[in-house]
């Protein structure tokens, strides 16, 4: 890589961490940290997936996916689902996770995750870079009453982190009720 590329890449490395999520489609699970909020209305999120992933083919084919938010205690399952390919493995079995039928999508969601967001793909953003971004409109939601956003997990540059301390703002109890 050129010095200029290395210098520009340092800019990417300087970014803070991103939420880690399980992306499910059909009966497969992958892990993504290239994940972001996209729109409040309609409520939409986006996820960046490399085209060589099995999940990329499945999302392109079905036009749907689910975002399943893991907790810190599921790090072992993140390692499994984020390294094996669904072309060769049943990751529900390998990670001891339970597939649960979606409410509005044909794909499964993960029963053990406290938040499941069922999405239909509304945009696919091709770019001559590493990831293709799928924008998903959230059409059904399942949230465990005991879910706390502090339980989520962040990731960037090989580092797993917990969510940071709140500096200012309202409590989750006020925001999510």
Ligand X SMILES: Cc1cc2nc3c(=O)[nH]c(=O)nc-3n(C[C@H](O)[C@H](O)[C@H](O)COP(=O)(O)O)c2cc1C
List residues binding ligand X (CB under 6 A): 20, 28, 30-34, 48-50, 53-55, 78, 82-86, 131, 155
Minimum CB separation of residue 33 from ligand X in Å reads 4
Pick 63 or 169: Cβ nearer ligand X: 63
Phi-psi region of 36 (alpha: psi -120 to 50; beta: other; left: phi over 0): beta
Minimum CB separation of residue 68 from ligand X in Å reads 13
CB < 8 Å & 24+ apart, contacts of 83-92? 85/53, 85/54, 86/28, 86/29, 86/30, 86/54, 86/55, 86/58, 87/54, 90/27, 91/28, 91/29, 92/27, 92/29
User: Tokens 């502090």 label which residue?
Assistant: 150
Residue 79 backbone phi and psi in degrees, to 5: -60, -40
Pick 63 or 82: Cβ nearer ligand X: 82
Pick 147 or 156: Cβ nearer ligand X: 156
For ligand X, the nearest residue by Cβ is 82
Minimum CB separation of residue 167 from ligand X in Å reads 26
Pick 86 or 102: Cβ nearer ligand X: 86
Minimum CB separation of residue 42 from ligand X in Å reads 23
Pick 7 or 96: Cβ nearer ligand X: 96
State the virtual CA torsion across 85, 119, 74, 166 in degrees, nearest 10. Answer: 140
């Amino acid at each position: 890589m050129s010095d200029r590329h290395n210098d520009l890449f340092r800019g990417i490395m300087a970014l803070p961490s991103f939420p880690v999520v399980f992306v499910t489609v059909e009966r497969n699970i992958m892990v993504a940290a290239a994940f972001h909020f996209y729109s409040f209305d309609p409520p939409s999120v986006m996820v960046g997936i490399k085209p060589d992933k099995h999940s990329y083919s499945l999302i392109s084919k079905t036009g749907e996916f689910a975002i399943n938010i893991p907790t810190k205690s599921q790090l072992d399952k993140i390692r499994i689902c984020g390294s094996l390919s669904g072309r060769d493995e049943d990751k529900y079995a390998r990670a001891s996770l339970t597939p649960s039928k979606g409410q509005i999508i044909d794909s499964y969601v993960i029963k053990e995750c406290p938040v499941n967001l069922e999405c239909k793909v509304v945009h696919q953003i091709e770019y001559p870079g590493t990831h293709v971004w799928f924008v998903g409109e959230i059409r059904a939601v399942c949230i465990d009453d005991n879910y706390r956003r502090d339980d989520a997990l962040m990731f960037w540059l090989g580092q797993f982190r917990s969510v940071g301390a709140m500096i200012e703002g309202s409590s989750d109890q006020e925001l999510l009720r």
